[in-house]
Amino acid sequence: MTVTTRLRASPQVSPCLQDFRVVVRIDSWESTSVYPNGHFVRVLGRIGDLEGEIATILVENSISVIPFSEAQMCEMPENTPENPWKVSREEEQKRKDLRKSHLVFSIDPKGCEDVDDTLSIRTLNNGNLELGVHIADVTHFVAPNSYIDIEARTRATTYYLADRRYDMLPSVLSADLCSLLGGVDRYAVSIMWELDKTSYEIKEVWYGRTIIRSAYKLFYEAAQELLDGNFSVVDDIPEFKDLDEKSRQAKLEELVWAIGKLTNIARHVRAKRDGCGALELEGVEVRVQLDDKKNIHDLIPKQPLEVHETVAECMILANHWVAKKIWESFPHQALLRQHPPPHQEFFSELRECAKAKGFFIDTRSNKTLADSLDNANDPHDPIVNRLLRSMATQAMSNALYFSTGSCAEEEFHHYGLALDKYTHFTSPIRRYSDIVVHRLLMAAISKDKKMEIKGNLFTNKDLEELCRHINNRNRAAQHSQKQSTELFQCMYFKDKDPATEERCISDGVIYSIRTNGVLVFIPRFGIKGAAYLKNKDGLVISSGPESRSAWKPGSLQRFQNKITSTTTDGESVTFHLFDHVTVRISVQASRCHSDTIRLEIISNKPYKIPNTELTHQSSPLLKSELVKEVTKSMEEAQLAQEVKVNIIQEEYQEYCQTKGKSLYTLLEEIRDLALLDVSNNYGI
C-alpha cells in the first residue's frame, strides 16, 4: 500500500525532509502497535508549494502523468512544417466529403485546444433542415491494441485540474490532428439528421465517416453575443478579420442564422426531454483561465449561457442515437451509460429545506422532481433555487458505464436525462469510453452494409471489466478536480489576515442545519463549508451590537429548519435555512492533512458590499485576484527554495533515491502491466 504523508520532526528523519510531502510504502502493521511500518519512496515537494501539492493530489488518486513512451510516439502520425499531414486519396474515396457543402463550426470555452466536436446546420433542397454533429475520428489514428491504445485504456480519461490538464492521448492527436480546429481538413465521424422544417421532428438519420473543414472556432461568449444580436463581437473572431465588408456581412448573416437555428432546434429537443422528466441540476463549477504563456490568469465561476445548452442538447442527441444504434447491432456487448434512480431517503433533506421556504418537492419520479424544482423559485432570492438544485444533485446516484450483456434492458434508463438509452460518443479525445463506442459504431455500419467487421469487439465479460476500470478512473478524475479547486481556494486565503483583510469577508447562505452549527454556501467563491455555532471551549455564538457575533457561555437548541443560540445571560439569536449571513473566511492548517477552508459567522445579517467592491462583486470574473495572487506567491516561494535544491538532492542519495527510474518504480510499472489483458481476446 502506497500513501502520501508529511514527515514530522524525529531523530530518524533528516531535517532536510521535514515539512515535505513524501510517498511511503506501508510494509506491515503489527497488531500491538498504533503505527504501521513502512519505507520512504520519494519526495513530492514542500508542503504549501503549488507543484508539490498538485503532485500529492495525483499520487492520492493514482493518476500517472509520465510522458508518453518512444514506442507510443512512434505510432503517431507526423505533422510538421517540413512534412505536413494531409488527407489521403484513399480516405477521400471512403468518406463523405463535407468541406464544400456544409458550414461546420465549433463552440467551446476560451483557450480550448482539444476540440473534439463541431456542428452544422443547412437547408435541404426539399425545404427540410439537416442537423449535423461531427466528432473527431480518433480511432482512425489509434488502432486497437496498439501501444497508444493500451496507454489510453489505462489512463481512461483526460484529467482536468483547476489550472492544468493531463491528456489521455499525445498532443499531436489531442491538440492537433484530432482537434477540429478552424480552417484545416480533419477526419470526423458524423451523425446527420433530416428534420422537418417546422416541427423539427426527425425524418432520417445517417451515420458515417466524413472529411470536414471547420469554418469557425467560436468560444461560448462570442456565440452568445451573436445569438443576442450584438455583432460588435465579430472583431474578436479571427476568421472575420481579413474579409472585405461585403464578404464579412454575408458570412456573418450565414453564421448568425446557423447559431439561431441550432438554438431553436435545441430548445425543441430539450422540451421533449423535459416532458419526459429531464432534470436541470446545479453544481458549483469553476474553471481556470490561462494566458498565452500558460500562466494562470483567472479563476472564473462558470456563467450559464443559452449556447451552453444548445451545444449540450446537440451532443446529448448524438449520444442517444448512437446508443440506440450500437445496442440494436450488438445487444449483448454495447457500452452504454446508465443513471439509476436515487434512493428516496436521500431526498429527505431536500424536501425539508424546500418546505422551510413553502415549497413542496415531489420526488416520486424524475418528471415530478423536475417540475417541483422549476416551481421552487423565490423571486427575492434566486440562490434558493440554485441551492435546492444542488441538493438534488448530491442526492443522485452516479452515472456509470456498463455492458448491455450484464443487465436487463429496463435497467438501461438514464434518470437525469430522461432517456431510455444513452452512451458517450462525442469526446473520444479525452474519454476512452468514446473510443470504444466509435469502434462499435463503425462495426455496426459495417454490419449494416454486410461488410467484414475489422478487429474483434470486446466480449461482454471483457467489456464489463473495462467499464469497471473506466468508472474507477472517472471517480479519480472528479475527486482530483475537486481537490485542486479547494487547493487554490486555500492558497488564496492562507496568507491573508482574516481580521483585517476585507476580501476575507463575504456573504453566505445557510443551506443546512446541524447539531452544533450550520452549512453555508458562499456564492462569490463557490465555497461550501461548516460554520460552527459552538466552539471548542463550549462557548456559543451570540449577537452583539450591530448584529456582530461574539462567543459567550450558553447552549444551542436545534429545530427542523432553524437553530437557536441562547447565552446564560438570556441573549438569543436564531439562524434559519436560507438566511443570508456575513462570514469570515480563513484557512485551517493541519499537520497531517491538506489545509481546509474555515468559515466563521461574524454577523447574522447579510454582508453589505463596500462601495470599493461593488464593481468587483458584480463582475462575472469574480476570482481574478484569487488566482493571480496564488500564482505570484507560489513563484516567490519557488525562488526562495531554489537555494535548498542541492541539499535535498543529496538527501535523495542518502535514501537511495535516484533521479532516474528507481527499482521501486520499475517494479510498480511491471505490477501495473500485469493488470492489462492484451491477449487474443482483444484482437491481437
**Averaged pLDDT, groups of 10, the chain, 684 residues long:** 58 70 91 90 88 92 92 95 94 96 94 90 97 97 96 96 91 95 96 96 97 95 94 90 90 96 95 84 53 47 82 96 97 95 86 88 88 88 88 86 95 92 96 98 94 85 97 95 89 83 89 92 88 92 80 92 92 92 90 85 84 44 45 51 45 43 48 41 36
For residue 187, what are the β-bridge partners?
211
Characterise 291 by phi-psi region: left (phi > 0), alpha (psi -120 to 50), beta (else): beta
Residue 352 is predicted with a pLDDT of 87
Pairwise CA distance, residues 323 & 321, whole Å = 5
What type of residue is 371? D
Which residue has cell 463557490? 526
Spatial neighbors of 178 by CB under 8 A, at least 6 apart, are 114, 116, 136, 137, 138, 141, 169, 186, 428, 429
Question: What is the pTM for the complete model shown?
Answer: 0.84
Nearest to 75 by CA among 146, 144, 153, 156: 146
DSSP assigned state of 519: E
Residue 615 is predicted with a pLDDT of 41
Torsion of CA 85, 89, 91, 95, to 10 degrees: 120
Pairwise CA distance, residues 350 & 591, whole Å = 35
Residue 315 is predicted with a pLDDT of 96
In angstroms and rounded to an integer, the radius of gyration of the C-alpha atoms of the chain is 28
Residue 46 is predicted with a pLDDT of 87
Pairwise CA distance, residues 257 & 238, whole Å = 19
Q: Helix or strand or coil: residue 645?
A: helix
Output b/e per residue, 14-51; b: 16+ Cβ within 10 A: eebbeebbbbbeeeeeeeeeeeeebebbbbbbbbbbbe
Beta pairing class for 596-603 and 580-588: antiparallel
Q: φ and ψ at 289, to 5 degrees?
A: -100, 130
Residue 664 is predicted with a pLDDT of 47
